[in-house]
Amino acid sequence: MKKRVVSIMLIAAMAASLAAGCGKSSGSDSGNGGSSSGGSSSGGSSSAGASSGEEGKVINIYSWNDEFRERVEAVYPEVKETSKDGTVTVLNDGTEIHWIINPNQDGVYQQKLDEALMQQADASADDKVDIFLSETDYVNKYTDADADAAIPLKDLGIDPDRDLADQYDFTKVTASDVDGVQRGSTWQCCPGLLVYRRDIAKEVFGTDDPEEIGQKVKDWDTIKATAEELKAKGYYTFASYADTFRLYGNSIEESWVSPGETTIKVDQKIMDWVNSSKEWLDAGYLDKNVKGQWNDDWNKAMSSASKVFAFLFPAWGIDFTLNPNWDGEDGVWAVTNPPQEYNWGGSYVHACTGTDNPEHVKDIILAVTVDKDNLLKISKDYSDFTNTTSGMKEAAEDDSFASEFLGGQNAFEYFVPVAENIEIAPLSAYDQGCVELIQNSFSDYLQGKVDYDKAKKNFETAIIERYPDITEIQWPE
């Protein structure tokens, strides 16, 4: 008899666990609340609107790396401690921040975030997303007014005109929806520079002075003449054709897809990039063996054995990409003005619709992205170019902001004028796919595998696969 009871219980347990596994997606009943994390007792605050006075116990933050956590830990005064594995940060009042980190690669982060946003309305208070981050490439997807995923800053109690007056304007435009309602804020601003090797400069031009090199690369015509000089000595100007893409691609005049339309308009600037890349590649100004960015060959092009003279990077690129790949001494690289002002990247912080911690969220956004002292601290500790116009001007004149990797050069001096002149390209929700796929499709053309028309056709095929609602692709004449 006993045996039978045990076996029946085992089967029941198995069946129950199976049923529980599939019930989660459909079941929005309160019974699920019991299984939420932390075993907290805050199940009572069920209707979590931004208006309810009671704050939840758990703040869930979605991000793709530790960058934001490090900055919150560094500047948010309420932080008490973070667990060793970096998943939970406890605040002074006992509230816990849960960090939900998914890698950006292959769209994993967005998939997970989208899943969570879909379930946001049904999730129990402690499981709701409170803050999420987005990158410039896809910020538009989340600031969309119809999607209503990010709370307008005004509704949080932050007045963009007054509180964010010191931020760079283009970051505010980027984080706004079509109607100009700002739905996110960023601590970082990503003006890009030209980073070059002093040793090569000395050998080829006889000088490594940033001012003089800056004159040699000040616009596209001049830099082409410079490239010829470099080639004569056996050096490449840039590593790959993808290196210059952001300069063209982030200065397009019309967005890839106009709001409310389903037609992709490929900007003339993009075709300019294709044509000049082909010209440069054929002329031998670029390394033929480096195909695109973020691959092994590209990383190796940053080592001391490489023949590549310069890279185009914003602040994070110098710190996170160039520095780890460089195997020589500090002080070999220096920065100067790029041939064209551009912005590359940037992480935006959004308050998620339905959050049960609006006060904390507001505090965190203000502390990390608005407070000038905090931003300067971030600039100093993490070499970010931060989102404060007055603060960055001070940094440009303050030698304590000099970079060790750049041999004591103060890069902010060069970042500031670029940041002030950035014309940010109008965004659309389709940008990420367009930017990625146009580079992939025309890679084949640049390497001589397919002809120009075939590359166009491959882009059309790929983009319709990615975005089924696209009906037409228009190419510039």
Partner 1 sequence: MKSKHKKVDYSKWGYIFILPFFVSFFIFSFIPLVDTIRYSFFEYYRSGIKEIGPNFVGMENYISLLGSDMLKYAANTLILWIIGFIPQIVIALVLAEWFVDARLKIHGTQFFKVVIYLPNLIMASAFAMLFFTMFSTNGPVNSILMSIGLTSQPIDFLGSAMGTRSLVGFMNFLMWFGNSTIMLMAAIMGISPDVFEASELDGCNSFQRFFYITLPQIRPILAYTLITAIIGGLQMFDVPQILTNGQGTPDRTSMTLIMFLNSHLKSRNYGMAGALSVYLFIVSGILCFFVYRMTNNDDPDGSKAAAKKAKKQQRRG
Q: Which residue among 129, 149, 200, 247 contacts partner 1 (CB under 8 A)?
A: 149
Q: Which residue among 5, 22, 225, 232 contacts partner 1 (CB under 8 A)?
A: 22
Q: How far is the CB of 297 from partner 1 (least distance, A)?
A: 5
Number of amino acids touching partner 1 (CB under 8 A): 40
Q: Is residue 434 a contact residue for partner 1 (CB under 8 A)?
A: no
Q: Is residue 443 a contact residue for partner 1 (CB under 8 A)?
A: yes
Q: Is residue 147 a contact residue for partner 1 (CB under 8 A)?
A: yes
Q: Pick between residue 161 and residue 469 the one whose CB is nearest to partner 1.
A: 469
Furthest-apart CA atoms within the chain: distance in Å: 95
Q: Is residue 300 a contact residue for partner 1 (CB under 8 A)?
A: yes
SS (H, E, C) the chain: CHHHHHHHHHHHHHHHHHHHHHHHHHCCCHHHHHHCHHHCCHHHCCCCCCCCCCCCCEEEEEECCCHHHHHHHHHCCCEEEECCCCCEEEECCCCEEEEEECCCHHHHHHHHHHHHHHHCCCCCHHHCEEEEEEECCCHHHHHCCCCCCECCHHHHCCCHHHHCCCCCHHHHHHCECCCCCECCECCECCEEEEEEEHHHHHHHHCCCCHHHHHHHCCCHHHHHHHHHHHHHCCCECECCHHHHHHHHHCCCCCCCECCCCCEEECCHHHHHHHHHHHHHHHHCCECCCCCCCCCHHHHHCCCCCCCECEEEEEHHHHHHHHHHHCCCCCCCEEEECCCCCCECCCEEEEEECCCCCHHHHHHHHHHHHCCHHHHHHHHHHHCCCECCHHHHHHHHHCHHHCECCCCCECCHHHHHHHHHHCCCCCCCCCHHHHHHHHHHHHHHHHCCCCCHHHHHHHHHHHHHHHCCCCCEEECCC
Q: Is residue 462 a contact residue for partner 1 (CB under 8 A)?
A: yes
What is the rounded distance in angstroms from the CA atom of residue 177 to the CA atom of residue 175?
7
Q: Pick between residue 385 and residue 442 the one whose CB is nearest to partner 1.
A: 442
Q: Is residue 363 a contact residue for partner 1 (CB under 8 A)?
A: no
State residue 79 phi and psi, 5-degree precision. -70, 130
Q: How far is the CB of 177 from partner 1 (least distance, A)?
A: 12
Q: Pick between residue 24 and residue 202 the one whose CB is nearest to partner 1.
A: 24
Q: Is residue 202 a contact residue for partner 1 (CB under 8 A)?
A: no
Q: Is residue 453 a contact residue for partner 1 (CB under 8 A)?
A: no
Q: Pick between residue 383 and residue 428 the one whose CB is nearest to partner 1.
A: 428
Part in contact with partner 1 (CB under 8 A); list of ranges 8-16, 96-104, 331-339, 400-408? 8-16
Q: Is residue 278 a contact residue for partner 1 (CB under 8 A)?
A: no
Q: How far is the CB of 107 from partner 1 (least distance, A)?
A: 6
Part in contact with partner 1 (CB under 8 A); list of ranges 181-189, 198-206, 335-343, 454-462? 454-462
Q: Is residue 146 a contact residue for partner 1 (CB under 8 A)?
A: yes
Q: Pick between residue 1 and residue 225 the one whose CB is nearest to partner 1.
A: 1
Q: Which residue among 12, 18, 108, 173 contacts partner 1 (CB under 8 A)?
A: 18
Q: Is residue 458 a contact residue for partner 1 (CB under 8 A)?
A: yes
Q: Is residue 170 a contact residue for partner 1 (CB under 8 A)?
A: no
Q: How far is the CB of 19 from partner 1 (least distance, A)?
A: 9
Triad 336, 369, 376: Cα angle to 5°:
50
Q: Is residue 307 a contact residue for partner 1 (CB under 8 A)?
A: no
Q: Is residue 469 a contact residue for partner 1 (CB under 8 A)?
A: yes
Part in contact with partner 1 (CB under 8 A); list of ranges 67-75, 162-170, 340-348, 458-466? 458-466
Q: How far is the CB of 427 from partner 1 (least distance, A)?
A: 12
State residue 97 phi and psi, 5-degree precision. -100, 125
Q: Is residue 107 a contact residue for partner 1 (CB under 8 A)?
A: yes
Contact positions vs partner 1 (CB under 8 A): 7, 11, 14-15, 18, 22, 106-107, 114, 117-118, 141-142, 144, 146-147, 149, 289, 291, 295-297, 300, 429, 433, 440, 443-444, 447, 449-450, 454, 458, 461-462, 465-469
